[in-house]
Structure 1
Amino acid sequence: MANSGVDKGRRRVLIAATSVVGAAGVAAVAAPFLNSWNPSARALAAGAPVEVSVTKAEPGQLIRVIWRGKPVWLVNRTKDMLDTLAGLAERLKDPTSEEHPEQQPAYAKNLARTREGKEQYLVLVGICTHLGCSPTYRPELAPADLGADWKGGWYCPCHGSRFDLAGRVFKNVPAGKNLQVPPYYFKDEKTILIGEDGGKA
């Protein structure tokens, strides 16, 4: 008899409302906790590795990705492009990458500036070593504006620095160093991880 005055419909509404508010409170507390497990944008920009599929680059093509807030280029060089590298030594400031060894990992200190056996794929940080502009990819041979002896490479429109198809700097230009080769390795035949060297030289 004591419960005869209880409004059961009102009780259900109050219980449902309390449950919804309680669930929202649990979600509000749990969301920041769960998000704290994910790397922040700052952490990602600070150096999280970037995975790139080499299948995206057609022969001769350059593709761009961002690593540590910097543009990084992956170029799928053709045999003709690679063949131009050997004949340029006299025109380059640091043809054997000896003067500035910090510009590439030890495994990229070779003519192609790549990992052995993967010479067609060049990975470079796309920032001019003069004042930080981003050079333009110019793979064509002997264009009118770059001269008859141009074999392909990069031209920096800011101050005229030039780099060959291995990112090596030419003489008599403002830039003093070759373009940087970041750490990277092949996870498999089709995938490069930029930002780590895979523990192998």
Structure 2
Amino acid sequence: MSDQGVDRSKRQFLTTALTVVGAVGTGYIAVPFLSQMQPSTKAKAAGAPVEIDISKMETGQLIRAAWRGKPVWVLNRTPEVLEILATETDKLADPNSLESNQPESSNNEFRSIKPEIFIAVGLCTHLGCSPTFRPEIAPNDLGEDWKGGFFCPCHGSGFDLAGRVFRGVPAPTNLDVPPHHYLSETRILIGDESGADA
């Protein structure tokens, strides 16, 4: 067969065009296939650290966030609360947090890096209900001995404002303190304790 009358430039153009179309088609097929192998945005967010800005927190205020599908509390404790925490240890099941889940940086009487800022997972260690924040002193429904804390309405467990469990309640351990560190004086990263604290 003779190559006479064949336009080589058209043949080259068609070959190049078909190669490009084939590559694009392969890309359209491969991208969804490969992307389904990656974790979803929701899955990535579920375990990702959460940054909290405390610059506008007032003394005595509790703010809530979510980390790994769990509520996380950040409490700005008053100087009066810090005094009470040091004196109420005889009513607690584990005042020194020896059997509790907390990072080494929070292994102290206040269970926090900075005494005034308390961070905890907001789930009762009994059956996982979310306790209510009850900062008032001696309310009628909790009695004269109540000096402020967290009260679980499901089965009556009580925790002080350092998340330490009171004696004689169903909850077996103190509230969990999640791993965290300070990115600056007013920014906290929950879920990661690898950074240096401010």
TM-score by shorter chain over 0.5: yes
Structure 1 segment 18-29 matched on structure 2, within 5 A: 29=28
| Contact 2:182-2:196 at 8 Å conserved across structures | no
Which of 110, 113, 133 in structure 1 is aligned with 2:111?
113
SS of corresponding position for 1:85: helix
SS of 2:171 mapped into structure 1: coil
Q: Which runs of 4+ in 1 moved over 3 A?
A: 28-39
Is residue 154–residue 167 contact of structure 1 (8 Å, CA) maintained in 2? yes
Partner SS for 1:44: helix
State how far apart, in whole Å, the 1-side matches of 2:170 and 2:196 are: 34
User: In the comparison of the two structures, how many residue pairs are matched?
Assistant: 172
In the TM superposition, what is the alpha-carbon distance from 1:99 to its structure 2 partner?
A: 2.5
1:17-45 deviation per Cα after TM superposition (whole angstroms, max 9, x unaligned)? xxxxx9xx89x949867898896201211
Which letter does structure 2 place at the counterpart of 1:106?
A: E
The alignment's C-alpha RMSD in Å is 2.4
Q: Does 1:144 align with 2:145?
A: no
Pick closer, same or farther for the CA change 1:36–1:76 going to 2, 3 Å: farther
Q: 2:185 aligns with which of 185, 189, 196?
A: 189
Q: Give 3-state SS (helix, strand or coil) of 1:86's partner.
A: helix
Matched residue type, 2:99: E
Offset of 1:149 from its aligned partner?
A: 1.3
3-state SS of paired residue (1:188): coil
Alignment correspondent of 1:13 = none
**2: CA distance between counterparts of 1:93 and 1:50?**
31
1:39 and 1:76, CA in 2 relative to 1: closer, same or farther beyond 3 A?
farther
CA distance in 1, matches of 2:57, 2:111: 18
TM-score, scaled relative to structure 2: 0.79
- Tell me the CA shift for residue 49 of structure 1: 0.3
Number of the residue aligned with 1:41: 42
Gaps (5+ residues) in structure 2? 1-20
Letter in 1 for 2:187: T
Aligned residue for 1:65, secondary structure, equals strand
Return the alpha-carbon distance in structure 2 between the equivalents of residues 52 and 39 of structure 1: 23
1:88 aligns with 2:85: no
3-state SS of paired residue (1:141): coil
Secondary structure of 2:108's partner?
A: coil
Say whether residues 1:99 and 2:99 are aligned partners. Answer: yes
The offset of 1:165, in angstroms, is: 0.4
* Closer, same or farther: CA 199–188 of 1 in aligned 2, 3 Å: closer
Q: Secondary structure at the match of 2:58?
A: coil
Letter of the 1:86 counterpart: A
SS in 2 for 1:71: strand
Residue 199 of structure 1: how far off its partner (Å): 4.4
Shift of 1:89: 1.1
Identity among equivalent positions (%) equals 52
Contact kept? 1:97, 1:178, Cα under 8 Å:
yes
Shift of 1:62: 0.6
Return the alpha-carbon distance in structure 2 between the equivalents of residues 88 and 41 of structure 1: 42
Structure 2 partner of 1:133? 129
Q: Secondary structure at the match of 1:55?
A: coil
- Normalising by structure 1, report the TM-score: 0.78
